[in-house]
Amino acid sequence: MSDRVSSASLRGIEIIAGLIHYPGFLDRPAQERLRDALREAVRAAPLFTPRMPRTGKPFTVRMTNCGPLGWVSDEAGYRYQPTHPVTGAPWPPIPKIALAAWAELAPEAPPPEACLVNFYDGSARMGLHQDRDEEEFSAPVLSLSLGDSCLFRVGGAKRSDKTRSFDLNSGDALILGGPARLAFHGVDRIRGGSSTLLEGGGRINLTLRRVTLDPRRA
Ligand code: SIN
Ligand code: MN
Q: What is the pLDDT of residue 9?
A: 56
What does the pLDDT read at residue 218?
67
Q: Given pLDDT bands bounded at 50, 70 and 90, which one contains residue 212?
A: very high
Under a CB-based contact definition with an 8 Å cutoff, are residues 1 and 33 in contact? yes
Distance 1 CA to ligand 2 centre (A): 31
pLDDT of residue 1: 39
Q: What is the pLDDT of residues 116-147, one digit of tens each?
A: 999 999 999 999 999 999 999 999 999 999 99
185-196 tens-digit pLDDT: 999 999 999 999
Percentages of the chain per state (helix, strand, coil), in multiples of 5: 15, 35, 50
Which domains are present in the chain? 7-209 (2.60.120.590)
What is the chain's alpha carbon radius of gyration, rounded to the nearest angstrom? Answer: 16
Residues bordering ligand 2, an ion, CB closer than 5 Å: 131
pTM to 2 decimals? 0.95
Q: Show the ligand 1 pocket: residues with CB < 6 angstroms.
A: 116, 118, 126, 143, 152, 168, 185, 187, 205, 207
